[in-house]
Amino acid sequence: MALRVAYITHYPELYGANRSMLDLLLELRQRGEVEPTVLLPRPGALTGVLDAAGVPWRIEPFKPWMSERHYSGRIHHRIGQYFRQERAVSARARENETLLPGIAQHLRDAGTEVIHANSSVVGIAPQLAKALGVPLVWHIRELPERQYLLHLDAGRRRYGAALRGADRLIAISDAVRQDIVRYTGTGSNITLIRNGVLHQARYAEVRAQCAERWTRTAPFTFVLVGLIHPSKGQVEAVEALALVRSERPEARLLIAGEGRDEELRSTIVRTGQEEAVELAGFVQDPHTIFARGHALLMCSRNEAMGRVTVEAMATGMPVIGHASGGTVELVHEGINGSLYPGGAAPLAERMLRMMEDPAKTKALGESASVLAEERFSIERYASRVLEVYRAVHSSKVK
């Protein structure tokens, strides 16, 4: 009999975490192993996809228990900002407390047997699991403080205690596993399961779709895909492109994504790269972007895993990645790409190296595709998560 699993996500856009959740629940539903329902705080692109797939969903305007904090001005301004943000934390907590009984009743009526929290940001998950008496699987897909510079509104101690209380924690990379242990201490019930990004049969298909890129290596185009955020390194990529174009003016940079783009746009103007940088905005199918490029830039600091890194690799694209977080688990020097320590100059040096030897760059891309196919199928990913569901459910039933 299919397990009834409630998936909780903190946002409705189709960025990496939600796309990985969709891959998981659709694969397990297709197998007849899971009856999914999705809770999210507001409608968006995700709800449209769920409707098309016939997956039930429900809007519940719960609030995250992490926030971005910004301080400016003199000390008295900063003190005032601190207290306003603390009041906002209390208000969000009260809103969640008010919503909790209704959400719990809805999930109870739906016969929910497992709760799957899709991010560390979903702070209501432990309370819901406790209210229903069902196991909590907490899928940690980010390094909240290091990657997104988030503030833990409940504090590190309470965050760690909540994680320890989950029936199972899933980490998407070893970098995430190590980050979890910073809060929980050793002995936590953590399972490492890397995301799958394509069904096994799709790998050959996407390779073929993108093979034409190597028949036209001019202009050589670097690609950067994902949320636009200071920690993601888009500004550094533009600064590196300016250095590259001082030697190879034909180089181009294609950036896909939405977010905090003010500094990015000003950097493009400041460095005179208006004609060389294309801002494509949010793109639902990143493969349309990958097909136009020759190498992926993964400039994110402390990336948890980098779904987009594996997706690009699958198409036969090599990667230049920042040597931090989960990126070092995916990119191997001289095998499927190159790592750089940070800074526009080291990044530019590696970009030039890829431009100067297209044949070697193509070979790196071919190796990247083989690695992606061997390690990151949706089938393997879903099977591993299903093992977790069965284990926590059987343990709770006993």
139 lies in the same domain as 217: no
User: 230 and 119 in one domain?
Assistant: no
Tokens of 346: 């080291």
Say if residue 278 is in the same domain as residue 180: no
Asked whether the beta carbons of 24 and 125 are under 8 A apart, the reply is: no
Residue span of the structural domain in which 208 resides: 202-375
Within this chain, do residues 306 and 244 fall inside the same structural domain, yes or no?
yes
Please state, rounded to an integer, the average pLDDT across all residues of the chain.
Answer: 95
- Please state, as a whole number, how many other Cβ atoms lie within 10 Å of the Cβ of residue 201: 9
Number of domains comprising the chain: 2
Residue 70 has pLDDT above 90, yes or no: no
Q: Are 260 and 229 in contact, with CB atoms under 8 Å apart? A: yes
Residues 6+ apart with CB under 8 A from 166: 117, 125, 126, 129, 136, 137, 138, 189
- Helix axes 358-375 and 307-314, enclosed angle (nearest 10): 110
pLDDT at 186: 86
Local structure of residue 195 (DSSP, 8 states):
P
Mean pLDDT of 71-76: 90
Q: What's this model's pTM, rounded to 2 decimal places?
A: 0.90
- Residues 176 and 216 both lie in one domain: no
Do 250 and 363 have their domain in common?
Answer: yes
Tens-place pLDDT, residues 270-281: 999 999 999 999
Q: What is the mean pLDDT of residues 199-212?
A: 91
Residues 244, 383, single domain; the answer is: no
Which among 279, 293, 271 is positioned nearest to 222, based on CA atoms? Answer: 293
pLDDT in tens, 169-203: 999 999 999 999 999 998 789 999 999 999 999 99
Residues 362 and 281 in one domain: yes
Report the CATH number that the domain containing residue 351 is assigned in CATH.
3.40.50.2000
Shared-domain flag, residues 37 and 169:
yes
In our burial notation (b when 16+ CB lie closer than 10 A, e otherwise), range 319-352 reads bbbbebbbbbbbbbeeebbbbbeeebebbbbbbb
Q: Examine the domain organization and report whether 188 and 210 are in the same domain.
A: no
Same structural domain, 309 and 242: yes
Same-domain pairing of 223 and 281: yes
> How far apart (Å, rounded) are the C-alpha atoms in residues 156 and 162?
10
User: CA torsion angle for 154, 155, 156, 158 (degrees, to 10)?
Assistant: -50
